[in-house]
Amino acid sequence: MIIYNLTFIFYGFLAIVSQLIIFRELSIVFYGNELFIGTALSAWLFWVGVGSSKKFFSRNFPYLLVLAAVLLPLEIISIRVAKSFFYFGTILGPLPMFATTFISLSLYCILLGNMFPLACSLANEKGEKAALKKVYYLECLGSVLGGALFTYLFVGRIPVFYLAIILSMLTLFMAVVMLLKNKAKIGLPVAVAVLCVLIFAFFAKNIQTSSRKIEWGKFKLLEETESRYAHLALARMGSLKLFFENGLLSAQFPLATFYEEGVHWPMLLSSAPKNILVVGNAESGTLREVFKYSIERLDYVQLDEKSTALLKPYLEKEDAAALSDARLFIHYADARFWLKNHPRQYDVVILNVPEPANAQANRFYTQEFYQELKQRLKPDGVLAFSLPSAAEYLRLDIQVFNTSIYKTLRSVFASVDFVPGDNLLFLAGPEPINLNEQRLVKNYEERKIHNQYVVPTYFPYKLSLERRQYILERLASRDERINRDTSPIAYYYFSKLWIQKFSTPNYFLLNLLMLGLFCWGLVRLYKRRGQFVKYRYYIFIFLFGFMSMLLEMVLILSFQAFTGYIYWQMGALFAAFMLGLVLGSILVKPAKEKGIAIEKRYLNGLVLICLIFSLGLMIFLPFAAQLAYPKLLIIFPLLLVLSGMILGASFPLSGYLAMQEERLEKVSGLLYAADLWGGSVSALLSGLLIIPLWGFKGAIILALGLELLALLAVNKD
């Protein structure tokens, strides 16, 4: 039985590590925004749920492991080949994202899903109830182990393709051990699988190089590396060098016009720019432009040390010299976390952060962050950053997005101004921003600046009163919501702006089709409402799966907002939730009495605990932002453990009740599918719509409503 227990733990380990490997590869295509994360997680949970609810593959568990060992490296290769059908570095629309993600994950995830009910059947030696509980908590334990090892040991150290091959070899080893344990013959399928994995291992370097070459298409890949945070790559096209982070173009050089705009407007507006803070990617032009001025100190805060190491050998001579300047102080840290611990005052702050395409980037556009920056600016200091906009005509979606950021700035700074363009350059400070042409020309000449693009003859065009007045009227005329840590509306507005780029008649028709399918599904559910009693425990676990994923997202995003994105701690938060699942499922024991009354009371009590937990969370979160970081680092993992324990306990309890009416193999498959499908729907909606639209408070209120529905479902007889 020890071999079986180890296999069930390895099953959870295989599922979580392969998920993280595949998601990391897919993120290079879809650059890791909230829509991609929600889509990928939703697709993963959906197909695993499909696999657990139906029998698609062999009923022999070891042979499924053999098949998984071969499929995993092929999955990575197929994703890279799929990228060659898209122009690398461009932002793909939602339809290619949904199609590619759901198609590429289907086969492998169905295979993983098929393993769960088979594992329950293998464990069925001490009774059906014990088997369901054992497989569930051992699988969760394997997920904790795999998530922790991937986060703290594997990622950034082992390239994902090599890691996939190592995982395939381990999977094949576990399959062979199980076959030998069962005294089964090592037949032709296993021999072929061993041969395939050995070929992958022996030619790993060649496959890695060839697949990357296909992936990059017309670009000449100069160098790539994988850090803890992203896949980093430097490519060449013509005379330009292009720097990509997770497949998205992050910098291009030499291109002076790209960097002069963001640096010289705030530097020329400052009366005496001596102490400067730059946040975000700046090696390939920004630092050089800042050093044209007689500054005393430049603090440069960058999250990823490997990006600097990758770029440095390929930089222009002036940019490389800027990195060696004695006035430069580089800090590899999250900017928000760093600002809270380094109370220096600055004349100019330049933000080179990505647009708020996801919750992580959105943290640099919130009211709370601007308040932190205001404390770091001198009385006459200037803050500068740019966002996608339009030079002449603002469409409604651009207006909404730009207005939200504009009003957020106005809620903090006494003065907010802007320079119009395809990228709208925002300028803000505690004192009035004086965009006076004569003053800018005077400072330009006195400071002996020599630019190619931002020059005195360029000022009248950019500062045209008519163009600036037009933009101001559009921004002031709308009453959009302020972007906050607890209500991150800006990345919802940006998502709408991004999706609008791909709006076509076909896209509109597809939306109508999806709406039609949704309505059809509601009608079908209504017609089968009489069968709800039969499936009440599966409905219960679906609702709890949705609710648990929603609360997990609230806790993780609020921790990220309140403390800064600390990579190691984020990994600990995911592990804490999975640990809660393990503890919750272990603590639950089946009632010794016959009948369902005792276990139903346990389940009702669990819902009551969940209601109290959610209400407590709603009361706690507004105060959490005021707590010191060390306290939050203790409190949030504990909250995630408690949240996980509630879901972990609900799964076996629901299974015990369902098994009063049906056999183990059917119950285990359908219950696991219901849990995953609830999480799948929640993963798609919570990060993209629920949290940005309703904020953390609104999301918790929705969770409370789902808990009451779950209570109603489980007590419907």
Please say whether the beta carbons of 388 and 394 come within 8 A.
no
| pLDDT beyond 90 at 642 | yes
Higher pLDDT: 124 or 79? It is 79
| pLDDT beyond 60 at 372 | yes
Print the domain residue range for 445: 250-486
Q: Are residues 257 and 379 in the same domain?
A: yes
| pLDDT beyond 90 at 516 | no
Q: How far apart are the first and last CA of the chain?
A: 39
Nearest to 417 by CA among 393, 443, 382, 391: 382
How many other CB atoms sit within 10 Å of the CB of residue 96?
15
How many other CB atoms sit within 10 Å of the CB of residue 305?
14
Q: Are residues 323 and 394 in the same domain?
A: yes
Q: Are residues 672 and 537 in the same domain?
A: yes
What average pLDDT score do residues 220-233 get?
84
The token pair at 437 is 């042409």
Q: Are residues 157 and 27 in the same domain?
A: yes
Q: Which of 424, 457, 486 is the last residue of a domain?
A: 486
Q: Are residues 260 and 186 in the same domain?
A: no
Q: Are residues 272 and 202 in the same domain?
A: no
Q: How many residues make up the chain in this entry? A: 717
Higher pLDDT: 63 or 503? It is 63
Number of compact structural domains in the chain:
3
What average pLDDT score do residues 7-27 get?
88
Supply the pLDDT for residue 131.
76
Residue with tokens 């709208």: 424
Provide the CATH number for the domain around residue 19: 1.20.1250
Higher pLDDT: 681 or 515? It is 681
Residue 547 lies in a domain: yes
Q: Burial level of 440, CB count in 10 A (0-12/13-18/19+)?
A: buried
Q: Are residues 477 and 546 in the same domain?
A: no
Supply the pLDDT for residue 211.
87
What average pLDDT score do residues 619-638 get?
84
For residue 454, give the 3-state DSSP assignment: coil
Residue 376 lies in a domain: yes
* Helix (H), strand (E) counts: the chain: 27, 11
Please say whether the beta carbons of 586 and 137 come within 8 A.
yes
The dihedral built from the CA positions of residue 335, 336, 337 and 340, taken in this order, carries a sign that is positive
Q: Are residues 413 and 550 in the same domain?
A: no
Q: Are residues 274 and 421 in the same domain?
A: yes
Q: Are residues 450 and 562 in the same domain?
A: no
For residue 152, give the 3-state DSSP assignment: helix
Name the pLDDT band for 628 (thresholds 50, 70, 90): confident
Residue 520 lies in a domain: no
**What digits encode the pLDDT tens for the residues 318-364?**
889 999 999 999 999 888 888 888 888 999 999 988 888 777 788 89
Residue 85 lies in a domain: yes
| pLDDT beyond 90 at 260 | no
Residue 470 lies in a domain: yes
Q: Are residues 17 and 70 in the same domain?
A: yes
Name the pLDDT band for 410 (thresholds 50, 70, 90): very high
Supply the pLDDT for residue 127.
54
Residue 457 lies in a domain: yes
Provide the CATH number for the domain around residue 304: 3.40.50.150
Q: Burial level of 379, CB count in 10 A (0-12/13-18/19+)?
A: exposed
The token pair at 258 is 């790209």
Residue 241 lies in a domain: no
Higher pLDDT: 98 or 704? It is 704
Please give the helix or strand (H or E) that residue 256 lies within, else none: helix 256-269
Nearest to 358 by CA among 462, 455, 488: 488
Q: Are residues 191 and 318 in the same domain?
A: no
